[in-house]
Amino acid sequence: MELLSVLIMLRYVGDSKRLRSRVRQHCKGNVESSALRKTIATEMGFEIVSKKRPSGSRKLSAEPSNAEQIISAYIQSGTWKVVVCSSSEEARDFQWYAIDKKRPHLNKYMQFWDESSEELYKNLLENLLKSAQIEFESTLEVSKDPGVYSLWHEQNPADFARSHPV
């Protein structure tokens, strides 16, 4: 009997002043409102199109027309881990520490973090990594506080898109 092991990998780390609303926005939003969704769209091979609105501003969207549905399916089939921080400033800086230390594939940018907070950030990262996996259906139970969230998935976006043709 062959055992199949599923490796769920850290794909993305982000911060928010309001964890629940940000996680939900990633799950159901659009590429215009989410750097995560924009990066996933690109990884899946979808085109990001910029169109001029009547107001003169630009609107970003993913093409083809069902791209957003496939991006949502990918994100919703993954799981989340979150850690609450004492302030949105701490969450923002800790995010950069976590990205620096774990190098998630979907995080395309890194910034410096406050090295004087390294001990605190080590503990926060340990708590984040040990926290429970939260499935999409349970994201309404995520804290409303500031903190850091992470997306975990067993497939990279390109493989997922190939198995969910346009």
What mean pLDDT comes out for the span 115-138? Answer: 97
SS (H, E, C) 30-69: CCCCCHHHHHHHHHCCCEEEEEECCCCCEEEEEECCCHHH
Report residue 93 as tokens. Answer: 């800086």
Report residue 44 as tokens. Answer: 């899946």
12 closest CA partner among 44, 47, 36, 30: 36
165 neighbors 115 (Cβ within 8 angstroms): no
Determine what percent of the chain is predicted with pLDDT higher than 90: 86
- The verdict on pTM exceeding 0.85 is yes
According to the model, what pLDDT value does residue 6 have?
62
Residue type, 38: K
pLDDT in tens, 36-62: 999 999 999 999 999 998 998 999 999
pLDDT in tens, 22-40: 999 999 989 999 999 999 9
Query: How many residues are present in the chain?
Result: 166
According to the model, what pLDDT value does residue 30 have?
92
More confident residue, 58 or 150: 150
DSSP 142: S
DSSP 151: E
Residue 4 has pLDDT above 70, yes or no: no
